[in-house]
Amino acid sequence: MGLTELTQSDYDILKAMENVVEGIAKMYGEHTEVVLHSLDAKSPSILKIVNGHITGRECGAPITNLALLKLNEGKDVSDSYLTKSASGKTLRSITTIVRNSKGDAIGLLCVNIDMDAPMQSFLKNLLPFGFRENIQSPETFAKNLDETIDSTIETVRNEVLANPTILPSKRNREVVTRLYELGIFKYKDSKLLVANLLGISRDTVYLYLRELETK
């Protein structure tokens, strides 16, 4: 498996991967470098990198010899492995091949964790900003669609009730508006679920929705 000349379509796929790079880096924090490599034969280099201070690299830096070796191993997702940065940091890394619709390898997504980072600092990066021990997550890991709908309705309702700037007479309408913007009413029986939870009639929910759809 080697390098090839990439098409504009290939680059569009890699461009769409840039948000994935940002997301992984935000999830794990400043001690985790996330890199997107192009496998274009003309210029096999870094297209996107976050936390490049870990290896001292920037966009445009060439692909590493180890990345090329991982490409030729034949695994779309490598086993994790240890390596050393130029500055001597021990890194725990993993490399994932990005493919186009034809199955051709067009890029590599690499994650490098600085194993020499202070443990306390590393763990602190894993906690959400402003984390408190007694905070409750609004996310529900549902087993089916009904649970997802129920939990979404409940979360939005609680947000509206907790907002003192929303008048009591406007709260039900605001809940319906937010759920409408989230696309909840595309799901079967969602209107009845909302009506029951808010203690209003289904006709009232339909009225609010008609007003929203005519705006």
pLDDT-based confidence at residue 11 (cuts at 50, 70, 90):
very high
pTM of the complete model: 0.63
CA geometry: angle at 79 spanning 97 and 58, to 5°?
55
Please check the confidence at residue 207 and state whether its pLDDT lies above 70: yes
C-beta of residue 40 within 8 angstroms of C-beta of residue 5: yes
pLDDT given for residue 208 in this prediction: 93
pLDDT for position 133 = 47
Give Cβ neighbours of residue 32 (< 8 Å, ≥ 6 apart).
24, 25, 51, 54, 111, 112, 113, 114, 125
* Lookup result for tokens 């098409």: 7
Query: Distance (Å, rounded) from C-alpha 64 to C-alpha 159?
Result: 48
Q: Is 180 helix (H, G, I), strand (E, B) or coil?
A: helix
Distance in angstroms (rounded) separating the CA atoms of residues 163 and 156: 11
pLDDT single digits (tens) 167-201: 999 999 999 999 998 888 888 888 988 898 889 99
Alpha carbon distance 90, 87 (integer Å):
9
For 83-101, b where at least 16 C-beta lie within 10 A, e where not — what string?
Answer: eebeeebebebebbbbebe
| Residue 64: predicted pLDDT | 78
134 secondary structure, DSSP code: T
Q: At 62, is the secondary structure helix, strand, or coil?
A: strand
- How many helical (H) and strand (E) elements, i.e. helices and strands, does the chain have? 8, 5
pLDDT of residue 137: 46
Query: In the prediction, which pLDDT does 128 show?
Result: 61
CA distances for 176 relative to 80, 150, 154, 167, angstroms: 47, 13, 12, 15
- The pLDDT of residue 151: 80
- Does residue 53 register a pLDDT over 50? yes
